[in-house]
Chains A and B, each alone.
Chain A
């Protein structure tokens, strides 16, 4: 896994919501995903993680549009491709699972018909072959193939979500992007779905970008974690590192904000203040008004990404010196 060339390289990606008061929902995001890797993107509501998802998948609806950066996938910059070229890649090489299956499935078509649509859009197969493959993928996610003839409203929430994942697997793509697929489910269904997803990933070997606001849920399964705040990736590293040795003050604040069931009692700290209004973002670092370790430079210029010791990337001036120090050390 590590060491293999990445299948997805997002560089400097920016997404703007146009209109009377334009705002940058995603700003200068860098992200690398290797084959078979499970990358979690976490952040609170409004931090831009869903927008990032759709931007990578080239599924933005107006007034949102990509205003900068590249999305290199299999050697091509997806941003530059036209719809016709994209269509050749869609679903075969990468697929998407959306948050609410009730809204993401066409209410007037059966599950089987929608699976068949996806299949026949990219492969000339007979209806029979489509049905066979449809049954296959439904079984993979644990749904009785008899439901090929069911309409979305006839399935339970958990089943609908699984059906969506089944649909994403039709061509066994290299990359699946999932936008909060568990948010609409109860805790038990959440966990069982996560286990199933991890299972499938092990079996089929796809890379996975998993967006959620639930850091504790995803961190049990992910290989790497990216933390987003106000449209920027503020920290990126292995799950272990981010969870147990968070570098960015925001991540630290987040992780100290909820108690663990075991372990000693600690006072809940939380983060004072509110997330910024992206139409008028704070000058300099977007987190600085709420940061306990704020320095004068933070309110002047936005920090670049640094490579801290023991971590992958962090967008914080606290590590500027560390990087310099680190660079003076011999590279192992």
Chain B
């Protein structure tokens, strides 16, 4: 006969509430260096986008300067082959690039959450079908599909880019969320909610989702990285609206005008760095969230204890 603690331990049923989840996340975020760098970068970009008219020294679309000027006091990054100021273009381009990243990331995450979690929660045939649907979209090669759709709608601008990104990008997150939801699904606190007679929608929204906040946020950040890179890629090929200004279209023009060979490498390198940094800031935040969810991943300084492991 086993002796347990001869006392009655109160069953602490975890009841995560939205408010708690958010404040917990924020406080953990503050103490993490990677997150700090990511937040800093993000803040810089947001400020640049919002205050673009104030920050840009010139009108980015005004081709009134001498073409292909070298970097100088007047034009920090030089001018394009059309005589436009590169630096101003870079600043104004922040708007569209940031917009695409956030909107596409948001919509893709919403669909991921809807499909992934519902699929896991409903189970049975519905789950089977939805999971199959997810897997198909996961496997279908994104770039060729996006290119075809964008090519048909050539030149229609930002919304087509956002749409194709969402169409090809939601599946990865849906799969992850479904996997995690499945593992949570059997837990007691959900069962007790069901027994109490709560509606499925209530259970999903107020019991299940709060426990998955960190994964959902991580998903959004991952989708944002994907959006930044993909949008840049599509615009680079010329499928964005070349009339609109963004870092990707800058690269398109730079490539088509042989920026590297014409002695204006910054025309190509500049937007590239910005794309990379924006992607990196999302990625850093993403990794910080990963570590928050799984403390074992944090880098630990090896202590000079009595026994160093794996020596």
How far apart sit A83 and B311, CA to CA, in the bound complex (Å)?
A: 7
A258 touches B300 (CB 8 A): no
Q: B residues within 8 A CB of A60?
A: 307
Q: How far is the CB of B301 from chain A (nearest CB, A)?
A: 11
Please name the residue on chain B nearest to A18 by beta carbon.
B303
A271 touches B307 (CB 8 A): no
Bits for A28-63, please: 1 = Cβ < 8 Å to B, else 0.
000000000000000011000000000000101111
Give residues of chain A (272-316) contacting chain B, Cβ–Cβ below 8 Å: 272-275
How far apart sit A67 and B6, CA to CA, in the bound complex (Å)?
A: 31
Q: How far is the CB of A180 from chain B (nearest CB, A)?
A: 11
How far apart sit A258 and B2, CA to CA, in the bound complex (Å)?
A: 9
Q: A274 contacts which of B1, B7, B305, B306 (Cβ < 8 Å)?
A: B7
| Residue A82 CB within 8 A of the other chain | yes
Binds B, one of A154-162, A193-201, A209-217, A235-243: A209-217
Q: How far is the CB of B263 from chain A (nearest CB, A)?
A: 55
| Residue A66 CB within 8 A of the other chain | yes
How far apart sit A69 and B9, CA to CA, in the bound complex (Å)?
A: 33
How far apart sit A217 and B305, CA to CA, in the bound complex (Å)?
A: 37
How far apart sit A65 and B3, CA to CA, in the bound complex (Å)?
A: 29
B306 touches A65 (CB 8 A): yes
Bits for B1-42, please: 1 = Cβ < 8 Å to A, else 0.
111111101000000000000000000000000000000000
Most chain A CB neighbours (cut-off 10 Å) among B1, B2, B6: B6
B305 touches A271 (CB 8 A): no
A270 touches B306 (CB 8 A): no
| Residue B309 CB within 8 A of the other chain | yes
How far apart sit A44 and B2, CA to CA, in the bound complex (Å)?
A: 10
How far apart sit A321 and B222, CA to CA, in the bound complex (Å)?
A: 68
Give residues of chain A (138-195) contacting chain B, Cβ–Cβ below 8 Å: none
Give residues of chain A (242-279) contacting chain B, Cβ–Cβ below 8 Å: 253-254, 257-258, 269-275
Please name the residue on chain A nearest to B309 by beta carbon.
A62
A254 touching B3 in the complex, CB below 8 Å, given contacts A60-B307, A65-B306: yes
| Interface size classification for chain A | 20 to 34
Please name the residue on chain B nearest to A84 by beta carbon.
B311
Q: B307 contacts which of A45, A65, A213, A215 (Cβ < 8 Å)?
A: A65
A62 touches B300 (CB 8 A): yes
Bits for A10-27, please: 1 = Cβ < 8 Å to B, else 0.
000000001000000000
Q: B6 contacts which of A45, A79, A83, A270 (Cβ < 8 Å)?
A: A270
Q: A65 contacts which of B1, B303, B311 (Cβ < 8 Å)?
A: B303
How far apart sit A216 and B3, CA to CA, in the bound complex (Å)?
A: 8
How far apart sit A60 and B6, CA to CA, in the bound complex (Å)?
A: 29
Q: A residues within 8 A CB of B5?
A: 44-45, 271, 274-275
How far apart sit A253 and B3, CA to CA, in the bound complex (Å)?
A: 11
Q: How far is the CB of B17 from chain A (nearest CB, A)?
A: 24
Q: B residues within 8 A CB of A275?
A: 5
A61 touching B3 in the complex, CB below 8 Å, given contacts A18-B303, A274-B9: no
How far apart sit A62 and B308, CA to CA, in the bound complex (Å)?
A: 9
Q: A residues within 8 A CB of B2?
A: 213-214, 216-217
A273 touches B1 (CB 8 A): no
Please name the residue on chain A nearest to B1 by beta carbon.
A216
Bits for B186-217, please: 1 = Cβ < 8 Å to A, else 0.
00000000000000000000000000000000
A270 touches B1 (CB 8 A): no
Q: B residues within 8 A CB of A82?
A: 311
How far apart sit A254 and B5, CA to CA, in the bound complex (Å)?
A: 8
Which residues of A line the B interface, CB within 8 A? 18, 44-45, 58, 60-63, 65-67, 79-80, 82-83, 213-217, 253-254, 257-258, 269-275
Give 24 CB contacts A-B under 8 Å. A18-B303, A44-B3, A44-B4, A44-B5, A62-B309, A65-B305, A65-B306, A65-B307, A66-B305, A66-B306, A79-B307, A80-B306, A83-B307, A83-B311, A213-B2, A214-B1, A214-B3, A216-B3, A257-B6, A258-B3, A258-B6, A271-B5, A271-B6, A274-B9
Top 9 A-B pairs ranked by shortest CB distance? A257-B6, A270-B6, A65-B305, A214-B2, A44-B5, A271-B6, A216-B1, A83-B311, A66-B306
